[in-house]
Structure formats: C-alpha cells, structure tokens
C-alpha cells in the first residue's frame, strides 16, 4: 500500500489510520466510492491459520489494490477482478491470522 493511499487522506500514520488501513480490490473499491468506508473483518474457515477465538478488526478503506492480470486470480492475483480482496498491513493481518498464512478468507 502507498504511504498516502489512493483515497487522498494524506499520511495514513499521521491521520491515525496506520495499521488499520486497507487497500481494496477493484470489486470493493468501486472507483473510489468506498474510500473512507469501514469494514469489520475476521479470519474465517481456517483453524490452522486463524488466531484463537477468531478476533475481528475494523479497517478503513484508504487505498486501491491494483490488479495483476499477469498471474491467476487464485495464485497471486488477489486483487484481480472480480475478487473481493482486502490488502492490509502485516500488523493488522497478524491480529486475525498468522503472518505466514499470507492470505486467508474473511
């Protein structure tokens, strides 16, 4: 994610979004109309990688996660249309899942 994000909120750490900011795939970003929206997410359906008791976190949409059509949507192209994907900082991800999982369902 960019330090300032695609939504134009400025330095995300100075505006208190910090680790609770998220980049959205095009499906969720909706040409910027989702900027500033809040999403409560939790790791789902993966006892191996989800944190115990499946805690939830609230993320603020501050950035766009660009597609990478050079790779399949289920193998690295997580932000490819029509996937709904949250690209969050490692600090936020580690609150809901083990970092080595890399990607989990929410």
What ranges in 1-106 are assigned the alpha helix state H?
A: 26-29, 90-96
Kindly tell me if the per-residue pLDDT of 1 is higher than 60. no
Kindly tell me if the per-residue pLDDT of 47 is higher than 90. no
- Report how far residue 58's alpha carbon sits from residue 21's, in angstroms, rounded to the nearest whole number: 9
Mean pLDDT of 48-58: 93
If 0-12 CB within 10 Å is exposed, 13-18 middle and 19+ buried, where does residue 52 land? exposed
- Report how far residue 78's alpha carbon sits from residue 12's, in angstroms, rounded to the nearest whole number: 23
When pLDDT is cut at 50, 70 and 90, the band that residue 45 belongs to is confident
Sheet-wide strand order for 38-42: 38-42, 56-64, 21-24, 86-87
Read off the pTM. Answer: 0.87
């Amino acid at each position: 994610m960019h330090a300032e994000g695609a939504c134009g909120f400025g330095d995300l750490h100075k505006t208190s979004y910090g680790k609770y900011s998220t980049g959205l795939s095009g499906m969720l970003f909706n040409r910027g109309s989702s900027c500033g929206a809040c999403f409560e997410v939790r790791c789902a359906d993966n006892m191996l990688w989800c944190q115990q008791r499946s805690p939830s976190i609230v993320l603020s949409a501050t950035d766009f996660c660009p597609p990478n059509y050079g790779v399949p949507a289920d193998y690295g192209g997580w932000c490819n249309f029509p996937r709904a994907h949250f690209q969050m900082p490692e600090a936020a991800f580690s609150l809901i899942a083990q970092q080595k999982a890399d990607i989990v369902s929410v």
